[in-house]
Every structure is written in structure tokens, then in C-alpha cells.
């Protein structure tokens, strides 16, 4: 519970009263010290021009009356000033505290989950800056909540398809609609493997998005050698699909990275390239340096991307074409997170749909 003396409104009103009080005390002190001298000077001047026979008692009484009237006037002025300060303080505090109260209520509603809440900007610059920050926080919370809900929906969707397939096969076997053939078991196994891969990718994704929790074991290695090793391990996939793999003569690219994590990055990107490149297409791997950066580019002649898709390819579960069998839509998200944890980036370009795309992994060169 806030004490009365801790209230900002009370403090603001008191500040007005204190200012007036200090002013009044200053005037009173100045008057007490200076007024008698001024009055005596004027009385002395009056005595010089007055009737010499006038009684000094009358002059002294006149002096007393003048000082008393002056004091009464000061007292009345001080009282009116204090009352005016109270009224002005109350009005000013209400005006200034009204937007603060609005901001306080808005933050309470945000805390209760009303992330669409926004604060109207007050005319005062300082309070407007505070309200702007609160609105920015509200937008961030709203976007986070939308991503959370979208993630739940997307995970449910990704789980539903293989589960429905497995359920259909099992019910068909139980009802005698399907015969227990190797083909049925292989299809069921593929769907189970898809579920396992999705669970594994989600686990990796949660760790990667918390970069401080990502266990990285840095070593001084040749980035090009890692890319070549991964590409060669995936060559059977290329041969099976009829896609040509071209690996250029890569320069030595000395970087300090986690080799296993970088292998995971190239696996996800190259596997994605061969998945979306049609038969008789090609995937080209090149490498180069640019200033203090090492770069490996994986260019394919596949489906390509539209300009508005370039910023989405690293989003969770995003797939440019869901009609084509592919991964879980998490691979590029994981690759992007790993590279960021190495203070690098992944750049993606594409001339357009049907004209292929290029993913370039950029990592700082080792300084020693």
C-alpha cells in the first residue's frame, strides 16, 4: 500500500506549496528588515515639512499604523498565494498524472495478457516517450504471442499428417484392408522416421534459439573442407534424383567454428537444394573470401524463390511449396541460428520462381 507521503500527486502539490511558502517567508523577512527603515525615512521627511508644533506622538502612531497595515496586507497576500498554489498544484498534478495513470492501467492489462493494448500519446514529451516505449513493448509481446500460437498450430499440423498416415495403415491392417507387406511396413517406418526427425529438429531449434545454451566447441578448421565433406556424403542423394553436383576448387578458408555444427548447417542447406532441384538440374558449390570474411555459396537450378519469400525462408516451418514432399520446414531455421551463434550470416538470393536460388554462408575468418 502506498503511503500518502509517497504519492506523486501529494509530492507535486507540496512542491507548489513549498515554493510559495519559501517566497512568502522571503518577502516577510525582507519586509521585516527593510520596511521599518523605509517608513522611518518617509516619516522623517514628513516631519521636516510638517507643522513644528505637531506632536511626535501622532507621527509615531502614524508609523505604527503604516507598519501594521503593511503586515496585514502581506498576511492576506500570503494566504491567498498559498490557497492559489494548492488549487494550481491539484489541477497541475491531475493533468500530469492522468497519462501516467493511463500508462499504469495499460501495463496491468498487458500483464494480464491483453497484448493488443496501446497507450494514447500524451502531449508532454517525456510522458510521450514513456508511452511510446510501453507501446513498443506491447507490440513485441503481441508478436511473440502470435508466433507462439502459430508455432503450436504448425507443430500440430506437422504431427497430424504422419500420425494420420500411421493410423490409417494400422487400422487397415487390423481390418484386413491392407496385407502386412514390406511396402506397408516401409511406409509406416518412413512416417515414424518423419515424426522422429520433427521431434529432433524441434529440440535442436529450442536450443539454437537460446544461443547462450548452444554448446559450441570451437576449432580452427578449413570451412571449405567441411562443405566438401558434407556434399560428398550427400552425393548418393544427387545420383538417386539425377541432379548434378559441381564442387569448385575452394580456397583455404581458415575459420574458428564448431565443425559438427557447421556440418549440420551445410547438410541442411545442401539437402534442401537437392530436394527442390528437379531431375537434370545442378547444384554448384563455390567458396571465396571477402575482406575478413569466408563465404561458401550453394547455388541450385531448382524452383527458386519470389522476392517476398526471401525474408521468410528462415522462419520456422516455412516451406515455399508445401505440395512437394520435403523436410519439416525447420532445417534452414536451425542453420540460420547456428551461423548467427558463430557471428556469421546466411544470405539468400534468387532471380525468381523457376530460376534457382543461392544460399551463402558467411563466417569471419580466423585472425590467428
Q: Which of 14-28, 106-120, 293-307 has the lowest mean pLDDT?
A: 14-28
Residue 292 scores a pLDDT above 50: yes
Tell me if the pTM is above 0.85: no
Give pLDDT, residue 127. Answer: 75
Is residue 1 very low, low, confident or very high in pLDDT (cuts 50, 70, 90)?
Answer: very low
Per-residue pLDDT reduced to its tens digit, 7-66: 556 666 666 667 767 666 766 666 666 666 666 666 666 555 555 555 556 656 666 666
Highest mean pLDDT among 3-12, 166-175, 210-219, 278-287: 278-287
Return the C-alpha cell found at 314.
528462415
In whole angstroms, what is the distance from residue 150 CA to residue 140 CA?
A: 15
Q: Which of 259-268, 319-328, 340-349 has the lowest mean pLDDT?
A: 319-328
Amino acid at each position: 500500500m502506498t503511503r500518502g507521503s509517497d504519492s506523486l500527486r501529494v509530492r507535486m502539490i507540496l512542491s507548489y506549496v513549498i515554493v510559495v511558502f519559501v517566497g512568502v517567508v522571503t518577502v516577510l523577512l525582507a519586509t521585516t528588515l527593510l520596511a521599518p527603515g523605509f517608513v522611518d525615512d518617509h516619516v522623517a521627511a514628513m516631519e521636516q515639512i510638517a507643522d513644528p508644533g505637531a506632536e511626535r506622538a501622532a507621527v509615531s502612531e502614524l508609523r505604527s499604523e503604516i507598519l501594521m497595515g503593511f503586515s496585514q496586507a502581506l498576511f492576506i497576500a500570503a494566504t491567498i498565494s498559498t490557497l492559489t498554489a494548492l488549487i494550481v498544484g491539484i489541477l497541475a498534478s491531475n493533468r500530469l498524472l492522468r497519462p501516467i495513470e493511463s500508462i499504469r492501467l495499460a501495463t496491468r492489462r498487458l500483464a494480464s495478457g491483453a497484448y493488443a493494448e496501446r497507450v494514447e500519446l500524451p502531449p508532454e514529451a517525456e510522458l510521450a516517450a514513456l508511452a511510446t516505449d510501453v507501446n513498443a513493448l506491447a507490440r513485441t509481446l503481441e508478436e511473440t504471442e502470435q508466433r507462439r500460437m502459430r508455432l503450436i498450430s504448425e507443430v500440430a499440423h506437422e504431427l497430424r499428417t504422419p500420425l494420420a498416415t500411421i493410423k490409417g495403415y494400422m487400422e487397415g491392417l487390423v481390418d484386413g484392408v491392407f496385407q502386412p507387406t514390406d511396402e506397408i511396413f516401409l511406409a509406416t517406418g518412413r512416417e515414424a522416421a518423419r515424426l522422429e526427425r520433427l521431434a529432433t529438429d524441434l529440440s535442436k531449434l529450442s536450443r539454437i534459439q537460446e544461443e547462450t545454451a548452444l554448446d559450441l566447441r570451437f576449432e580452427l578448421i578449413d570451412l571449405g573442407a567441411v562443405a566438401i565433406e558434407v556434399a560428398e556424403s550427400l552425393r548418393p542423394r544427387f545420383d538417386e534424383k539425377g541432379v548434378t553436383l559441381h564442387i569448385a576448387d575452394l580456397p583455404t578458408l581458415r575459420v574458428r567454428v564448431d565443425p559438427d555444427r557447421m556440418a549440420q548447417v551445410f547438410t541442411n542447406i545442401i539437402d534442401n537444394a537437392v530436394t527442390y532441384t528437379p531431375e537434370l538440374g545442378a547444384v554448384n558449390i563455390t567458396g571465396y573470401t571477402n575482406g575478413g570474411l569466408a563465404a561458401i555459396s550453394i547455388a541450385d537450378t531448382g524452383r527458386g524463390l519470389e522476392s517476398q519469400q526471401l525474408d521468410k525462408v528462415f522462419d520456422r516451418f516455412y516451406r515455399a511449396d508445401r505440395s512437394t514432399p520435403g523436410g519439416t520446414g525447420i532445417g534452414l531455421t536451425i542453420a540460420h541460428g547456428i551461423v548467427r551463434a558463430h557471428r556469421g550470416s546466411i544470405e539468400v538470393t534468387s532471380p525468381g520462381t523457376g530460376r534457382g536460388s543461392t544460399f551463402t554462408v558467411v563466417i569471419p575468418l580466423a585472425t590467428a
